[in-house]
Structure 1
Amino acid sequence: MQVTETLKDGLKRGYTITVTAAELEAKVNEKLAEAQPQIEMKGFRKGKVPMPLLKKQFGERLMGESMQETIDGAMSSHFEETGDRPAMQPQVKMTSEDWKPGDDVTVEMTYEALPEIPETDLKAIKLEKLVVEPADAEITEALEKLAATAQTYTDRRKGSKAKEGDQVIIDFVGKLGDEPFEGGSAEDYPLVLGSDSFIPGFEDQLVGAKAEDEVTVTVTFPENYGAENLKGKEATFDVTVKAVKAPKSAEIDDDLAKQFGAEDLEALKGQVAERLKAEFSGAARAVMKRALLDALDEAVSFEVPPSLLEAEAGQIAHQLYHEEHPDDHGHDHGAIEPTEEHLKLAERRVRLGLLLAEIGRKAEVSVSDNEMTQAVLAQARQFPGQERQFFEYVRQNQALQQQIRAPLFEDKVVDYVFELADVTEKPVSKDELQAAVEKLEEE
């Protein structure tokens, strides 16, 4: 077997691998000799089938296996000897389309090698960690929001007109023309005006209504409405307003605390403070991660594989196109050519991705099975009732597994670098942290 270099241009590599007919023949004979003791055939005792007959019966299939195994072995040996790591799956093709048994086999292998990534002094990286301690006012604000979610509704004074945010108790009958339609009627229905829980325009026509009023509401069902017989149809609703109620937030006291599983108000305040700390910590981590990536981007420079750059730029261009054209949900918009800005961003992303991967490889960072399971569980919750099917889909889809694993791995590598870097804590206010987060979103 012979491996000959045919291309070395930047990160691009090309080789021809030649396997002689004699090598293939020896490989086939070796396989037949291993299998012969277990083979039975009519007219022969087990293990006594002649080799020529075995070769006639199984030789063609074993020749294909031998070719594949030999070429795979040659590729593995090549990567071990050269230390090359392909950026993507190498392209391999036979050069002789008219190959026949007895001929040598020659294949061409091309790939882009991952670049040599320079060592980085992670301990020399200086970072600021923004620290926010929840203020009493912020805890109170959070408690008020909790109280608002636990609000009740109390009857307004007799004769009061319903306002947006009020709850009206109504009976209604929906009609197409003069005929009531199925599912269009209810009694004692509590409807919060402005909640947009009914057909567009329905709630607006009840603003200003009073208890005991009878109102005829006219609406047009959306074209994408779920019921086929109602799509795009105009309908009327005979509505009787039975009560108008004003929203009333719950009192911030021990009773509110117990509604949210806390023993008393002080315990609830402690829970709220911890939740706010976690939120602030998550935001501060995002800010520090961006600072780390900026520092690494400035500290390390190396050539990136063109294929990875092209793929990432294309993905960025495609994503930004759909963000700018939210009504275009298909993918028949034709090719989207990446701009210089897309290519610049893609180069940064690919370089940092390769650098973090190399740091993680050398530090033996890994994602455990339990961490993967928890991540899949989190995504499965987005599909209520179909969690089992989602798990099975992930199990059978290697590409999706990698999509889930990649951000977990990156976060673990980032945490590893945080531990080594020179990190200084900087106390800031909530507003200062918010400003730092907003700056990230602008960039």
Structure 2
Amino acid sequence: MEIKSNKIDGANAIIEATILREVIDANLEKIAKELAKTASIQGFRKGKVPIAIIKKQYGEKLVQDAEAEALRDVLSKGLEELNITNDSLIGEPNISKFDKSDDKIEVAVKVAMRPLIELGDYASMITEFDKPVISDADVEKRIKELAESQAPLKDIARNRKMKDGDTAVIDFEGFVDGEAFEGGKAENFELRLGSGQFIPGFEDQLIGVKRDEEVEINVTFPAEYQAKNLAGKEAMFKVKVNGIKVKDEVTIDDELAKKMLPGQDDATLEELTKQVKLQMENEELSKLYNDELKPALLETFVAGINFDLPEFVVDQEIDMALNKKAQSMSEDEINVLRENSDKLEKLRETFREDAQRSVRATFIIDALAASENVKVEEQEVMQTIYYEAMQTGQDPQKAYEQYKDSGYLPAVQMSMVEDKVLSQLLNSKIKEA
């Protein structure tokens, strides 16, 4: 058996071989003898089945097994020649050629390897930046907003026109095409004007209305409204204002701090101010990281750290992008691609650059995480999914099981690793004001 092995680059290799007919025959003979020891064939005692009968009974299956064993031998010897360990392989070997004739089989097997990544002095690629500054006025405003959010509502004594921020206590009933519709009626409903709780335009038309007044409000349901029978329809609401409420005034002092910092009996306004300022700084820093610094830093690494990419992984990424694109295509468009391989290949190539960037970024993050000793355990992934599920009112356990069954847990874990490692690198470059 002739084997020729060649490393294409640091992440791809090809193993070519000529498997002679006698190798296949020898493998087939060996497999048939082993099978004869255990096969149960009517008319013969177990272990006493003649080889000729085994060959006749299992025929093509024996040939396939013999060829598969020869391929495994080709792969094993080829990897040994290339000094490639099984641990460094990525994905399954790809048989790119299998030309079978009477006396031999010409084969070519492509393998992908985990690339060797030289990170170099990656810390020097990170630019220093100023920590976001939160003014005292911004902190005072936030504390006031927090205080007002907890303040109780009270009826206003003077019957004035309503304005943005007031809470209207209303009776209403909605009509579409002159007919009342289900769920469009309520009494003494408390609606804060400007909250965006109702259909766009509804709250605006209550501004300027006084207590005990009755008005008609005309709006249009959004095209994507959840109730399909109302989506995009024009509606008229009869509304009566029963009362107007505003937030009661709250004194901003140490007593407020104790309410807003439960468990801290000695809480003071000064301590509350410190904590609110820290929270606001973290919010601004998080926004800066996610909107600007992290994407820019990853692009810098992708552009500045060069290594060979496994073709197999890039092709997988292209296939995923192609499948996603197909979901938005019409059946006629998909049929055109099925019938025209050149057009399909041309479309595939439009995704190659983004796929290469994505694969390169993934390997870089993996290497950086190892260098920075950043890990995300499965328990941490579970806690993150649980928290997000609770935030959106879902069952945490069911949400986790859905991620698990869909095979999305590794992607979530990788995303968390990326977030952690980029944050850790950026944290080292913060300049205090």
TM-score calculated relative to the size of structure 1: 0.70
Residue number in structure 1 paired with 2:414: 406
Residue number in structure 2 paired with 1:427: 432
Residue number in structure 2 paired with 1:209: 209
Kindly state the Cα deviation for residue 192 of structure 1 after the two structures are TM-superposed.
Answer: 1.2
Residue number in structure 1 paired with 2:195: 195
Q: Is 1:45 matched with 2:50?
A: no
- The superposition leaves residues 286-313 of structure 1 with CA deviations (integer Å, 9 ceiling, x where unpaired) of 7886787688678754566788789989
Residue number in structure 2 paired with 1:431: none
CA distance in 1, matches of 2:373, 2:66: 35
Residue number in structure 1 paired with 2:343: none
Range moving further from structure 2, 156-165 or 368-377: 368-377
CA distance in 1, matches of 2:426, 2:242: 62
Task: Check the 8 A contact 2:386/2:397 in 1, yes or no.
Answer: no
In structure 2, the CA distance between the partners of 1:256 and 1:93, relative to structure 1 (3 Å rule), is same
CA distance in 2, matches of 1:222, 1:416: 43
Q: Is 1:370 matched with 2:370?
A: no
Matched to 2:95, the amino acid is: V
Give 3-state SS (helix, strand or coil) of 1:56's partner: helix
Residue number in structure 2 paired with 1:432: none
Q: Is 1:395 matched with 2:404?
A: yes
Task: Check the 8 A contact 1:129/1:288 in 2, yes or no.
Answer: no
- The superposition leaves residues 250-276 of structure 1 with CA deviations (integer Å, 9 ceiling, x where unpaired) of 444535643664435437556545544
CA distance in 2, matches of 1:298, 1:228: 48
In structure 2, the CA distance between the partners of 1:132 and 1:224, relative to structure 1 (3 Å rule), is closer
Kindly state the Cα deviation for residue 361 of structure 1 after the two structures are TM-superposed.
Answer: 6.0
Matched to 1:373, the amino acid is: M
Kindly state the Cα deviation for residue 377 of structure 1 after the two structures are TM-superposed.
Answer: 4.0
Matches within 5 A, 1:5-154: 5=5, 8=8, 14-83=14-83, 91-96=94-99, 99=100, 103-110=103-110, 117-118=117-118, 120-121=120-121, 128=128, 139-154=139-154
Task: Check the 8 A contact 2:96/2:110 in 1, yes or no.
Answer: no
Give 3-state SS (helix, strand or coil) of 1:22's partner: helix
Matched to 2:174, the amino acid is: G
Task: Check the 8 A contact 1:128/1:288 in 2, yes or no.
Answer: no
In structure 2, the CA distance between the partners of 1:315 and 1:149, relative to structure 1 (3 Å rule), is farther
In structure 2, the CA distance between the partners of 1:32 and 1:250, relative to structure 1 (3 Å rule), is farther
Matched to 1:369, the amino acid is: E
Residue number in structure 2 paired with 1:435: none
In structure 2, the CA distance between the partners of 1:201 and 1:357, relative to structure 1 (3 Å rule), is closer
- The superposition leaves residues 184-221 of structure 1 with CA deviations (integer Å, 9 ceiling, x where unpaired) of 21111001112222222222221111111111222233
Task: Check the 8 A contact 1:169/1:191 in 2, yes or no.
Answer: yes
Q: Which runs of 5+ in 1 are unaligned?
A: 323-328, 429-443
CA distance in 1, matches of 2:189, 2:137: 38
In structure 2, the CA distance between the partners of 1:33 and 1:81, relative to structure 1 (3 Å rule), is same
Matched to 2:217, the amino acid is: V
Kindly state the Cα deviation for residue 160 of structure 1 after the two structures are TM-superposed.
Answer: 0.5
Give 3-state SS (helix, strand or coil) of 1:42's partner: coil
Matched to 2:53, the amino acid is: L
Task: Check the 8 A contact 1:375/1:404 in 2, yes or no.
Answer: no
CA distance in 2, matches of 1:181, 1:145: 37
Matched to 2:412, the amino acid is: I
Kindly state the Cα deviation for residue 8 of structure 1 after the two structures are TM-superposed.
Answer: 4.8
CA distance in 2, matches of 1:118, 1:15: 26
Residue number in structure 2 paired with 1:263: 264
- The superposition leaves residues 402-432 of structure 1 with CA deviations (integer Å, 9 ceiling, x where unpaired) of 432333344565578789xxx576322xxxx
CA distance in 1, matches of 2:372, 2:165: 56
CA distance in 2, matches of 1:424, 1:52: 75
In structure 2, the CA distance between the partners of 1:104 and 1:358, relative to structure 1 (3 Å rule), is farther
Residue number in structure 2 paired with 1:220: 220
CA distance in 2, matches of 1:39, 1:148: 82
Task: Check the 8 A contact 1:223/1:231 in 2, yes or no.
Answer: yes
In structure 2, the CA distance between the partners of 1:226 and 1:363, relative to structure 1 (3 Å rule), is closer
Matches within 5 A, 1:319-330: 330=328
Give 3-state SS (helix, strand or coil) of 1:230's partner: coil
Matched to 1:221, the amino acid is: F
Matched to 1:92, the amino acid is: I
Give 3-state SS (helix, strand or coil) of 2:242's partner: strand
Task: Check the 8 A contact 2:194/2:203 in 1, yes or no.
Answer: yes
CA distance in 1, matches of 2:65, 2:98: 18
Kindly state the Cα deviation for residue 239 of structure 1 after the two structures are TM-superposed.
Answer: 1.3
CA distance in 2, matches of 1:81, 1:363: 34
- The superposition leaves residues 335-390 of structure 1 with CA deviations (integer Å, 9 ceiling, x where unpaired) of 59869xx96x9877665554444455688876533344345445655774465555
CA distance in 2, matches of 1:71, 1:416: 46
In structure 2, the CA distance between the partners of 1:179 and 1:414, relative to structure 1 (3 Å rule), is closer
CA distance in 2, matches of 1:67, 1:387: 49
In structure 2, the CA distance between the partners of 1:78 and 1:411, relative to structure 1 (3 Å rule), is farther
Range moving further from structure 2, 184-193 or 80-89: 80-89
CA distance in 2, matches of 1:83, 1:363: 29
Matches within 5 A, 1:228-267: 228-248=228-248, 250-253=250-253, 254=255, 257-258=258-259, 261-264=262-265, 265-266=267-268
Residue number in structure 1 paired with 2:181: 181
Q: CA RMSD in A?
A: 4.8
Task: Check the 8 A contact 1:314/1:337 in 2, yes or no.
Answer: no
CA distance in 2, matches of 1:25, 1:393: 49
Matched to 1:426, the amino acid is: K
